[in-house]
């Protein structure tokens, strides 16, 4: 086992007997342990995984507007095209970012494709914060919502449904919900039109396959 193998194993949390044997004989690797621990924590920090919404095209449009000595008006304050704006995450704010710990998710739930997207799947990860959970939804096989519609994530119990927010681009979904997952264990993603109906639509996209009869 080389030093780099040992350090890679440490970063993954795979601290086996071989790892400890190496560490007991290698002063350099022993000295690196505190920094590797810090690095491991930093790799779980949501900040290093967050994606800017600004594309290279958006940037160039913003920069090649009227050239001034001060920066051009930011794209997001001019009002983005609806498609870009809709792709933005709906609810995460300053508070959530500051409250989230640099830890792996507190819980994860696998989601399966429902009738409207049978080949799709997803994983919902939650970080417990004051007043609820910060959520990251990772999806596979789910296309962006068609024009005029959005996806909506619901936390449901037998008799209540709480919306955790809407999104149009399933590639970058971060939301907040103010109810604990354990009390609302049935998770559902629906496709919604702007019909003003506060209840989940009948177009189910993803769910965590609860027993419908029991629920």
Partner 1 sequence: MISGRVRRRFRSGDADAVRAFYQEFGRAVYTVALGVLGDRGLAEEAVQTTFLQAWQACSHYDPDRDPAPWLYAIARRAAIDLYRRERRHMRSEDQPEMAALPDTFEATWEAWEIRLSLDRLPDEERAVVRAIHFLGMSHRQAAEFLSLPVGTIKSRSHRAHRRLAEMLAHLEELSA
Kindly state whether residue 89 participates in binding partner 1, applying the rule CB under 8 A: yes
Q: What burial letters (b/e) apply to 113-150, b meaning 16+ CB within 10 Å?
A: bbebbeebbbebbbbbbeebbbbbbebeebebbeeebb
Rounded CA gap, 81 and 92, in Å? 20
What is the gyration radius of the CA atoms in the chain, in angstroms? 22
Is 5 or 160 the residue whose CB approaches partner 1 more closely? 5
State the helix-helix crossing angle for 3-12 and 17-25, rounded to 10 degrees: 130
Rounded CA gap, 150 and 193, in Å? 7
Kindly state whether residue 130 participates in binding partner 1, applying the rule CB under 8 A: no
State which of residues 48, 130, 196, 214 lies at the interface with partner 1 (CB under 8 A).
48
State which of residues 37, 49, 118, 209 lies at the interface with partner 1 (CB under 8 A).
49
Using CB under 8 A as the criterion, what x/- string covers residues 156-195 for binding partner 1?
A: ----------------------------------------
Give the interface with partner 1 as residue ranges (CB under 8 A): 4-5, 7-9, 11-12, 31-32, 34-36, 38-40, 42-54, 56, 59-60, 62-64, 71-72, 74-77, 88-89, 92-94, 97-98, 103-106, 108, 110, 123, 125, 136, 138, 140
């Amino acid at each position: 086992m080389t030093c780099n193998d040992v350090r890679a194993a440490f970063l993954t949390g795979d601290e086996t007997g071989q790892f400890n044997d190496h560490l007991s004989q290698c002063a350099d690797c022993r000295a690196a342990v505190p920094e590797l621990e810090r690095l491991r924590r930093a790799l779980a920090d949501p900040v290093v995984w967050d994606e800017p919404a600004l594309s290279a095209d958006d940037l160039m449009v913003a920069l090649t507007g009227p050239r001034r000595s001060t920066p051009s008006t930011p794209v997001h304050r001019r009002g983005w095209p609806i498609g870009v704006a809709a792709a933005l995450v709906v609810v995460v704010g300053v508070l959530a970012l500051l409250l989230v710990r640099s830890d792996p998710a507190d819980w994860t739930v696998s989601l399966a494709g429902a009738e409207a997207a049978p080949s799709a799947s997803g994983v919902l990860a939650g970080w417990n914060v004051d007043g609820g959970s910060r959520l990251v939804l990772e999806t596979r096989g789910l296309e962006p919502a068609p024009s005029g519609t959005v996806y909506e994530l619901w936390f449901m119990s037998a008799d209540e449904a709480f919306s955790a927010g809407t999104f149009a681009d399933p590639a970058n979904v971060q939301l907040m919900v103010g109810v604990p997952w354990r009390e609302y264990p049935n998770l559902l993603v629906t496709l919604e039109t702007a019909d003003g109906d506060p209840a989940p639509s009948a177009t189910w996209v993803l769910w965590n396959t609860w027993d419908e009869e029991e629920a």
